[in-house]
Amino acid sequence: MVAEAPTYPYRPTVSFELMPPRRPDAAPRFWETARRLVAARPDFVSVTYGAGGGDRDTARDVVSRLLAGTPVLPIAHLTCVGASRENVSEVVDEFLEAGVRSFLALRGDPPQDQPDWRPPAGGVHSAVELVHLLREVEARRCAADPAAAVRGAARPLTIAVATFPDGNVQAGTTRTQEVHRLLEKQQAGASFAITQFFYEADSYTDFVAEARTAGVTIPILAGLLPTTEPRRLRRVEELTGVQAPQHLLDALDARPDPEAQYAYGTAYGTELAQRVLDAGAPGLHVYTFNKYRPALDLLEGVHLGGRTTTPDDAAPDVRDLAGRPWVPSIPTPAPAVP
C-alpha cells in the first residue's frame, strides 16, 4: 500500500468504464453505482456496447442520461463486427443525434458460441474502418445541415481506441503487432488510446516505449482492473485471454475472509496503479464491472480521490439520473441549492 501522498508533476486523469444494465431490475443498482462514481468527478465515464448491438437502445439511453443529467463526459463505446455498414452508420447517426461527441471505436469480439463465424461481406471489419466511418457520418450530417456544421466545428468528435499491451490474445496478435495496429488507428484519426487491463507495470511501460519508438504520439491511458475478486479475474481471463499471475490468484485464494481478500487485492491494484503513474501514465481508466467500491478504493490508494474524499452522499450535481419509468425505485436527488 502507498504510505505517503505522492506529488504528481501533473494531475492524472481518472475515468471509469460502466456496462449498461442487462435487465430493467438491474437498473436501480446500476444508477446507484453511476451516481457514486460520478460523485468522484472523473474526467469521463465510458459506456460499453455489446458486440452484437443487442443492447443498442440501453447503451444509448445510459449515455444520453449521463450527458443530460450529470456533469460527467460520457464516452460511448461502439462496435462494428458482424453488422452491416448501413446498420453501423445508423447507430452512429443515432448517437450523434442524441448529442454524443465522444466515442471509443472498437471492432468487438465475434460471437463466442459460433466457432465457424465469419464477418459478413460489406460490413465494417475493424476499429480503423469504424474511425473512418464515424468521420464520414459526421461529415455527411454537416454537409446536409449548416447548423450541424457549426456545432461540429465548435465541438469536434473525439474518437478513442483500444490497445493491447500484451497483444490481443483472442485475436492472436503480439505486442508489436498491436503497436502497429495502434499506429494505424492514430493515422485514421484516433485522439487517444485506452489499454486492455494488465497485471504487471512492465506490460504498460514496455508497450508505451515501443509505441513511441514506432511513432505513436497520442496519449495512452492505462486501463486497470480492480484485483479484489479471484472469481472475477478467472472470468475475465475466459472473456479476454488476459491471464492473472498465479501468485496473485494463490494469494487471494489463501485468504478466505472476504475483507482480507479485498484488502490484499486492493493493495496489489494500488501498487500497480502507482507504478504506472510513476512511469508517466497520463491517467487511470478503471474497469469497474459496475462496482464502485473497488474502483474508488483503488483511486484512494494512489491519492486520486476515492470513498473517503468523496463521501457516499456527496453527489450534489447528479440530478435526474434515474428519472425514467424503468428505474422507478431510486428517489431523484433534490436539486443543488445555488
Ligand X SMILES: Cc1cc2nc3c(=O)[nH]c(=O)nc-3n(C[C@H](O)[C@H](O)[C@H](O)COP(=O)(O)OP(=O)(O)OC[C@H]3O[C@@H](n4cnc5c(N)ncnc54)[C@H](O)[C@@H]3O)c2cc1C
Q: Would you count residue 181 as binding ligand X (CB under 6 A)? A: yes
Q: Which of 36, 56, 107, 303 binds ligand X (CB under 6 A)?
A: 107
DSSP 3-state assignment of 201? helix
| C-beta of residue 263 within 8 angstroms of C-beta of residue 293 | no
Choose the stretch contacting ligand X; rule: CB under 6 A; options: 83-91, 123-131, 150-158, 207-215: 123-131
**Residue 259 identity (one-letter amino acid):** E
Q: Which residue from 29, 125, 275, 307 is in contact with ligand X, where contact means CB under 6 A?
A: 125
| Cα torsion angle, 164, 130, 171, 51, sign | positive
From 4, 17, 90, 97, the catalytic residue: 17
Q: Of the candidates 88, 64, 68, 86, which has an alpha carbon nearest to the alpha carbon of residue 78? A: 88
Interface pick for ligand X out of 98, 171, 218, 263 (rule CB under 6 A): 171
Is 17 one of the catalytic residues?
Answer: yes
Q: What is the DSSP string of 15-69?
A: EEEE---SSGGGHHHHHHHHHHHHHT--SEEEE---TT-TTHHHHHHHHHHHHHH
Residue 110 touches ligand X, criterion: CB under 6 A: yes
The least distance separating ligand X from the CB of residue 288, rounded to whole angstroms, comes to: 12
**From its phi and psi, is residue 290 left (phi > 0), alpha (psi between -120 and 50) or beta?**
left
Q: Nearer to ligand X by C-beta: 39 or 276?
A: 276
- DSSP label of 25: G
CA distance 119 to 162: 20
Q: Which of 77, 101, 232, 303 binds ligand X (CB under 6 A)?
A: 77
Interaction between residue 270 and ligand X (CB under 6 A):
no
Residue 126 contacts ligand X per CB under 6 A: yes
Tell me if 198 contacts ligand X by CB under 6 A.
Answer: no
180 binds ligand X (CB under 6 A): no
Helix (H, G, I), strand (E, B) or coil at 59: helix
Binding-site size, ligand X (CB under 6 A): 22
Q: Does 15 bind ligand X (CB under 6 A)?
A: no
Question: CA-to-CA distance for 284 and 159, rounded, in angstroms?
Answer: 18
3 state DSSP class of 248: helix
Neighbours of 212 (CB within 10 A): 12
The single residue among 18, 179, 194, 224 that binds ligand X, judged by CB under 6 A, is 194
CB atoms within 10 A of CB 117: 12
CB 124 within 8 A of CB 130: yes
| Beta carbons of 182 and 245 less than 8 angstroms apart | no
DSSP state of 289: T
Smaller CB separation from ligand X, 198 or 262: 198
Q: How far is the CB of 294 from ligand X (least distance, A)?
A: 18
Smallest distance from the beta carbon of 103 to ligand X, in angstroms? 11
Q: Does 106 bind ligand X (CB under 6 A)?
A: yes
3-state secondary structure of 222: strand
Question: Considering only residues 50-69, where is the footprint of ligand X by CB under 6 A?
Answer: 50-51
Of the chain, the end-to-end C-alpha distance in Å amounts to 39
**Does the protein bind ligand X through residue 21 (CB under 6 A)?**
no
- Please report, as residue ranges, which positions from 206 to 245 form the binding site for ligand X (by CB under 6 A): 223
Nearer to ligand X, 221 or 322 (CB): 221
Cβ at position 79, least distance to ligand X in Å: 5
Which one, 79 or 270, has the nearer CB to ligand X?
Answer: 79
C-beta of 195: minimal distance to ligand X in Å?
7
Scanning 44-52, 138-146, 305-313, 330-338 for contacts with ligand X by CB under 6 A, the matching segment is 44-52
**Contact residues: ligand X, CB under 6 A:** 48-51, 77, 79, 106-110, 125-127, 162, 168, 170-171, 181, 194, 196, 223
Q: State the catalytic residues.
A: 17
